[in-house]
A and B are shown apart, each in its own frame.
Chain A
Amino acid sequence: MANTADTANPASMANTGAPRAPGRAERPGGPGGPRPARRTVRFRPGPYLLIAPTVATIAVLILYPIGQLVWMSFHKIGTREVRGLEPAENVGFKNFSTVLEDDFFWKVLLNTVLSAAAMVVLTMIVGTLVGLLLNRLGRKMSLLVSSGALLAWATPAISSAIVYKWLFTPGGGLVPWLLDLLPNWLVGGGWDDYNWFSEPLTTYVVLVLCVVWQSFPFIAVSVLAGLKSVPSELYEAARVDGSSAWTTFWQITFPLLKPVFLVLTVLSIIWDFKVFTQLWFLSGGTANRDSFNLAMYAYSEAVAFPAKYGLGGAIALVLTAILLVFTGFYVRVMVKQGEVA
């Protein structure tokens, strides 16, 4: 990478004074008078000075904490060890085996995986359908629908969780009232005073609905942008051949937009695996342990008093590791699409 740039540099030197040596220009606030165009081709500190603040910030605020997390998860740490009064004892993988042998961890993991799967699948289906719909609607209708979708997208996670909780709260909430109106043979009885947030299953039904509602607009808009790039002749040809909408989608749209779908799916997986705020507000903080997902579990162990550094670190690391696997997929796709070049 660096080599090609450097070899290209002398060739363009004659007419490009500026863009190759940023180091000089970025003296903050400096007058930066005209300089002779002479420079060495070997090492230029410029770019490094420019990225230094970013690298330092990320190193201190993200990379170092991850390092601490790794260190904690391999040590036995109490309040005295954290204060540095006693050296922490290295316990190897003991914290991890404690976590992995705990039934509660597997329950939390199951909650996380199942809910994320439901969110991702539903978000992708609804988002894609709305994208296809937007592409076929007339101008005014399309504007109306996309403005509505934008509103859902723009709603903060906290507000949406609060509204969904209100919609599902018995005694005034809309959904229990509606379900109570419907005949009992269809939906069962007793909905008017059923507490949706006492059981993990019904909590997650509301959570999935809430997350899908907020995330489908992003998928729809991205799919729509992809659809605009598909040459309309292809669809003309398909129509002449008399192929159905279903066949057209799988034979033309899907193969052409496959990279888009891939990125969107991986991004959705990463986002839906770490849903926190909505779950926090829906299930009422950390009180309802049965409804925990991994992010909630990691958080609750971190803020517990006294904090469980070793175990908490191990749980947080498991969550991070799972997300890094999917991030790996994402990076691969980005590299393939030349986003990193």
Chain B
Amino acid sequence: MSTSRTGGRGTRVALNTAGILVFLFAVFPVFWMVSSAFKTDEDINSETPLPVPVHWTLRHFKAVINGQGLDYGLFHFFLNSLIVAVVTVAVGSVVSVLAAYAVARTRFRGRVAFLLMLIIVQMVPLEALMLPLMLNAQRLHLLNSLGGVIIVYVGSTLAFSVLMLRGFVAAVPKDLEDAASIDGASRATTFWRITFPLVAPGLVATSIFSFVNAWNEFVIAFAFLKDQDKYMLPLTLSYSFGRTQVEWGSIMASSTLFTIPVMVFFLIVQRRMVSGLVAGAVKG
């Protein structure tokens, strides 16, 4: 912004100082998590905390990967988390693309009611629905199964996915579709050859959001899954967290390993969102 070039040198210094303080405030906890994961137990429990590890160690990471205290290694739980997130995204994407297309491209009676329902539904807290959800899952023998968790995740992210995708579908110029159909393309061909490729980036962004959501979710997983072989990563964290003697080094190592995949995904989506905003500004 051109306004930022105004102001004297003093203002500049003050602004940059504030910027660095905000940066430190934002980054510090993440830095502390990673740095604690590499510290030896002696350094972690020492009277004077050290900013960076003096004696670097991979002991905690090794212990976590071998699944210390748990019946399985980390990979087992990683796989459970991955299966749940991927299936949730796959099912959710198919269902939400259809609805988003209908809402963005057609007018029908009840469309506004449908949109309002989606906006309201995405605000309902899962914790409040725990009682009926667990009861129904029990009746259908879906408690203590990854399938039950997946079903609830699909239901809880669907409203948001449809609303988000709707924007991406609406952003595809209708003229393109029209042109294709004038050239004699069927509606199916038009959708697959014209609309879908243009919506695909939006679908990726939406998918990553529901992936991150499923990956991070804790309450449902905790209430539904009882056997260790069904545990997902958040449950292994709460398991080692709940023990009487908390081993901070291992906990920091496992939460680092848990955090990194989502962080990478999140940063990818974020860039896409920003470029989307810029593109809109250029066009407008």
- Tell me whether B135 and A68 are in contact (CB under 8 A): yes
As a 0/1 sequence over residues 265 to 294 of chain A, the CB contacts with chain B under 8 angstroms (1 = contact) are: 000001000101100110011000000000
Contact count A vs B, C-beta below 8 Å = 345
With contacts A26-B98, A158-B234, A163-B255 taken as known, whether A47 is within 8 angstroms of B16 at the C-beta atoms is no
- Which chain A residues lie closer than 8 Å to B237 at the CB level? 158, 162
Contact among B22, B96, B125, B130 for A148, CB-based, below 8 A: B22
Q: Min CB distance, A9 to chain B, in Å?
A: 8
- Tell me whether B102 and A47 are in contact (CB under 8 A): yes
- Which chain B residues lie closer than 8 Å to A133 at the CB level? 15, 18-19, 22
Q: Which of A29-68 contact B (CB under 8 A)?
A: 30-35, 44, 46-48, 50-51, 53-55, 57-58, 60-66, 68
Q: Min CB distance, B156 to chain A, in Å?
A: 7
- Tell me whether A155 and B29 are in contact (CB under 8 A): yes
Contact among A31, A44, A150, A341 for B188, CB-based, below 8 A: A31
- For the complex, give the distance between the alpha carbons of A141 and B22 in Å: 11
Q: Which of B32-53 contact A (CB under 8 A)?
A: 32-33, 36, 44-49
Q: Min CB distance, A151 to chain B, in Å?
A: 5
Contact among B4, B95, B135, B238 for A138, CB-based, below 8 A: B4
Contact among B46, B130, B234 for A299, CB-based, below 8 A: B130
Q: Which of B127-167 contact A (CB under 8 A)?
A: 127-136, 151-152, 154-156, 158-159, 162
With contacts A54-B99, A141-B16 taken as known, whether A162 is within 8 angstroms of B190 at the C-beta atoms is no
- Which chain A residues lie closer than 8 Å to B78 at the CB level? none
Q: Min CB distance, B13 to chain A, in Å?
A: 11
- Which chain B residues lie closer than 8 Å to A302 at the CB level? 127, 130-131, 134, 223
Q: Min CB distance, B108 to chain A, in Å?
A: 4
- For the complex, give the distance between the alpha carbons of A15 and B181 in Å: 9
- Tell me whether A274 and B125 are in contact (CB under 8 A): yes
Residue of A nearest to B107 (CB): A5
Q: Min CB distance, A130 to chain B, in Å?
A: 6
Residue of B nearest to A317 (CB): B128
- For the complex, give the distance between the alpha carbons of A55 and B162 in Å: 11
Residue of B nearest to A16 (CB): B178
- Which chain B residues lie closer than 8 Å to A171 at the CB level? 45
CB of A82 closer than 8 Å to a CB of B: yes
- For the complex, give the distance between the alpha carbons of A27 and B98 in Å: 11
- Tell me whether B95 and A316 are in contact (CB under 8 A): no
Q: Which of B114-129 contact A (CB under 8 A)?
A: 114-121, 123-125, 127-129
- For the complex, give the distance between the alpha carbons of A137 and B158 in Å: 38
Contact among A1, A4, A47, A144 for B19, CB-based, below 8 A: A144
Contact among B3, B111, B238 for A136, CB-based, below 8 A: B3
As a 0/1 sequence over residues 156 to 192 of chain B, the CB contacts with chain A under 8 angstroms (1 = contact) are: 1011001000000000001001101110111111110
Residue of B nearest to A212 (CB): B25
With contacts A51-B98, A137-B4, A299-B127 taken as known, whether A285 is within 8 angstroms of B242 at the C-beta atoms is yes
Pairs of residues from A and B, 8 with the lowest C-beta to C-beta distance, nearest first = A5-B107, A25-B187, A61-B155, A32-B188, A17-B181, A50-B102, A154-B266, A65-B132
